[in-house]
Amino acid sequence: MANARYRRRGNQNLWAYEIREEGKTVAYNSGFKTKRLAEAEAEPILQKLRTGSIITKNISLPELYQEWLDLKIIPSNRSDVTKKKYLSRKVTLEKLFGDKPISQIRPSEYQRIMNDYGKRVSRNFLGRLNTGVKQSLQMAIADKVMIEDFTQNVELFSTAKSQDADSKYLHSEKDYLELISAVKDKFDYKKSVIPYIIYFLLKTGMRYGELIALTWEDIDFDRGVFKTYRRFNSETSQFVPPKNKTSIRIVPVDNECLEILKNLQIEQNQSNKDLGLQNTNNMVFQHFGYPNSVPSTNGTNKVLRGIVQELNIEPIITTKGARHTYGSFLWHRGYDLGIIAKILGHKDISMLIEVYGHTLEEKIQEEYNDIKQLWQ
């Protein structure tokens, strides 16, 4: 391992450093008035030799963040879409912090910058940005770079309005069931597979990428379940890893869903035969009308929005809203939050509490009142 030695040299008693590795001098310089100045020059060299890293206390925050991306995010099995989101945050850091060395950023300054930025972005985005900064700093500190974790006690405030919780999903069971019925009325595989996708989004709570990734081998008709363990990116026409470990799961479906799938498979096979096409990946929602076999999220959202508007239902939900609507339906039917989280692929119930928080409070109060009546 490389080591540095500092000592005074010459008549003027100036400081010098010598860096040795495997018994050989690999770097040397002298003429520094103080030991601190000698260390300032030697430290980056020593750091590079020890870790192969360019991380020093003089690196800027955007540069450190990029180094963290290169080491921790880019090589990971995260999807390309997720990686692009991480990369876009570097641009934000460049605008907020410029090329200022991380050693010169104080906690109060960081707090002030985050407060100001919180006026323009949602609490969720602010939190994700802060998490990336914090993990970057922790990597540098683990490399023995002498810096302060200026994110340590930061508080995140956002005055920018994010999507209202009420607008994320349908609250009325009547509206939910009416929407399902209207979607079924539009089943016609020769025209489009999108109504089928919307139907199963509403009946399973699966993420869009998870649902369109299903192959016929993933459908267990005997047990009445879907097996999901990956996603499909309709833009790149590639299967990608699941969002997280808890995304790998079994999703229960009812008999109506299974019958619809059996009919869909028959129509799909006949259509492909007539057109001389192959369902290369044996995908459940493959359709001849799409270059990448399945429709995009945007295309599906457009159809979903049109159906919701036809029914005069509010709010106008997206494919993600269909997922939240299913969770809400199960919740109001009395299913345990832990079970709902498992079906939806959440690691715990915290996301459910965030989405359905206000209705949870109402239900909790109702049950408190019921408990009070137990002994009366």
pLDDT of 364: 67
pLDDT of 349: 85
pLDDT tens digit string along 27-46? 788 888 899 888 887 877 77
Entry field: residues in the chain: 376
pLDDT of 216: 98
Mapping DSSP to helix (H, G, I), strand (E, B) and coil, where does residue 5 land? strand
Greater confidence (274 vs 372) lies with: 274
Q: What stretches of the chain adopt beta strand conformation (E)?
A: 3-9, 14-21, 24-32, 219-220, 225-228, 231-233, 238-240, 249-252
pLDDT band per the 50, 70, 90 thresholds, residue 142: confident
Nearest alpha carbon to residue 300 among 289, 315, 312? 289
Nearest alpha carbon to residue 97 among 121, 130, 72, 139? 130
Percent residues over pLDDT 90 in the chain: 54
Please state the rounded mean pLDDT for residues 151-171.
75
The answer on pLDDT for 331 being more than 90 is no
Note the pTM of the prediction, 2 decimals: 0.64
The answer on pLDDT for 157 being more than 60 is yes
The answer on pLDDT for 52 being more than 70 is no
Between 143-152, 158-167, 231-240, 318-327, the lowest mean confidence (pLDDT) is in 158-167
Residues 6+ apart with CB under 8 A from 105: 61, 97, 150
pLDDT of 166: 47
The answer on pLDDT for 47 being more than 80 is no
Q: Sign of the CA dihedral 191, 194, 196, 198?
A: negative
Query: Crossing angle, helix 337-344 and helix 319-332, to 10 degrees?
Result: 150
pLDDT band per the 50, 70, 90 thresholds, residue 357: low
The answer on pLDDT for 210 being more than 90 is yes
The answer on pLDDT for 270 being more than 90 is yes
pLDDT tens digit string along 67-83? 898 888 887 777 777 88
Are the CB atoms for 348 and 216 separated by under 8 Å?
no
Q: Report the side by side order of strands in the sheet with 14-21.
A: 3-9, 14-21, 24-32
Domain 166-368 has CATH 1.10.40.30: no
Percent residues over pLDDT 70 in the chain: 92
pLDDT of 131: 94
Dist CA 206 CA 244 (whole Å): 14
Nearest alpha carbon to residue 139 among 107, 87, 102, 86? 102
pLDDT of 291: 80
Dist CA 142 CA 146 (whole Å): 10
Greater confidence (350 vs 182) lies with: 182
Mean pLDDT, the chain, whole residue set: 88
Dist CA 345 CA 108 (whole Å): 38
Assign domain 61-142 to its CATH superfamily.
Answer: Tyrosine recombinase, N-terminal domain (1.10.150.130)
Greater confidence (16 vs 225) lies with: 225
The answer on pLDDT for 302 being more than 90 is yes
Please state the rounded mean pLDDT for residues 325-344.
91
Dist CA 123 CA 129 (whole Å): 10
pLDDT of 141: 86
Dist CA 40 CA 21 (whole Å): 19
Compute CA distances 169 → 163, 213, 318, whole Å: 11, 23, 8
